[in-house]
């Protein structure tokens, strides 16, 4: 079995592109793959996001607005997960397309528009979204990200339990498909994974 933890920004097109890349690779894979999308927001990844997008580092109002929007979208996604993995991923992809790709503003109205579009249960969503349980689920995700040393949106950690590799491998967003596909192989030479490629880390 292969397990992938992909840490994403629910409002960004870059994360959407990495999700699509992994789904494309997984589609060709014959082994069983557990693909986990984990919404993420913390000061460290926000700082990296601002730098990578050439946004003003000293604009605190913009930083706070960005943090609040991503945090809210993370809770939206966690709430919808209670209605099923397929529906929540559909919601996530639509949200990333509208906000990240088409530059629409994130808002409660936009969220409800997408929920209606994908035929989600709005009443159930509103109930779950206001639950403290959703915040607890979100906090668990952030704990996992912290334990895995995640520093940027779209970082992923891959575990291959069919391989003699007894560690996870952290790969960055721009890691080539060929390296990811190599990590999926049953028979792999662990000596090939080194710090020579700064897009790939062991832990």
What are the structural domain ranges in the chain? 2-202
Neighbours of 7 (CB within 10 A): 27
**Segment-wise mean pLDDT, segments of 10 residues, the chain, 203 residues:** 94 94 92 93 88 83 92 97 96 96 96 97 96 96 93 92 80 92 73 50 51
List 79's β-bridge partners, or say none.
none
- Sheet harboring 169-171: ordered strands across? 33-39, 2-8, 156-160, 169-171, 200-202
Residues 6+ apart with CB under 8 A from 166: none
Pairing of strands 2-8, 169-171: unpaired
Instruction: Name the token pair of 51.
Output: 């730098």
Instruction: Name the token pair of 135.
Output: 């915040």
CATH architecture of 2-202: 3-Layer(aba) Sandwich (3.40)
Instruction: Report the pLDDT value the prediction gives residue 192, as an integer from 0 to 100.
Output: 53
Whole-model pTM: value is 0.88
Spatial separation of the C-alpha atoms in residues 38 and 144, rounded to whole Å? 9
List 202's β-bridge partners, or say none.
169
Residues 6+ apart with CB under 8 A from 66: 46, 49, 50
Tell which residue, 190, 184, 194, has the closest CA to residue 31. Answer: 184
CB 74 within 8 A of CB 39: yes
Task: Look up tokens 């206001």; give the residue.
Answer: 130
Instruction: Report the pLDDT value the prediction gives residue 53, as an integer from 0 to 100.
Output: 81
Instruction: Report the pLDDT value the prediction gives residue 195, as an integer from 0 to 100.
Output: 44
pLDDT tens digits, residue range 6-20?
Answer: 999 999 999 999 999
Instruction: Report the pLDDT value the prediction gives residue 51, as an integer from 0 to 100.
Output: 85
| SS3 category, 169 | strand
Burial class (CB in 10 A: 0-12, 13-18, 19+), 13: middle
| SS3 category, 170 | strand
- CA dihedral (24, 30, 36, 37) in degrees, to 10, reads 0
């Amino acid at each position: 079995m292969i397990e992938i933890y992909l840490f994403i920004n629910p409002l960004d097109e870059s994360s959407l592109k990495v999700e699509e890349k992994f789904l494309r690779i997984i589609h060709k894979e014959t082994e069983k793959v557990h693909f986990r999308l984990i919404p993420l927001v913390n000061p460290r990844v926000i700082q990296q996001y601002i730098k990578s997008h050439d946004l003003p580092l000293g604009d605190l109002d913009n930083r706070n607005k960005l943090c609040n929007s991503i945090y809210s979208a993370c809770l939206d996604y966690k709430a919808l997960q209670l209605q099923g993995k397929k529906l929540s991923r559909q919601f996530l992809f639509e949200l990333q397309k509208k906000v990240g790709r088409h530059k629409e503003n994130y808002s409660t109205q936009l969220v409800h528009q997408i929920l209606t579009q994908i035929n989600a249960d709005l009443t159930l969503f509103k109930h779950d979204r206001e639950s403290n349980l959703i915040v607890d689920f979100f906090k668990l995700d952030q704990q996992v990200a912290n334990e895995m040393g995640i520093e940027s949106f779209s970082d992923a950690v891959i575990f291959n339990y069919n391989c003699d590799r007894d560690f996870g491998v952290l790969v960055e967003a721009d890691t080539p498909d060929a390296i990811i596909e190599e990590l999926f192989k049953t028979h792999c030479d662990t000596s090939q994974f080194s710090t020579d490629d700064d897009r790939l880390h062991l832990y």
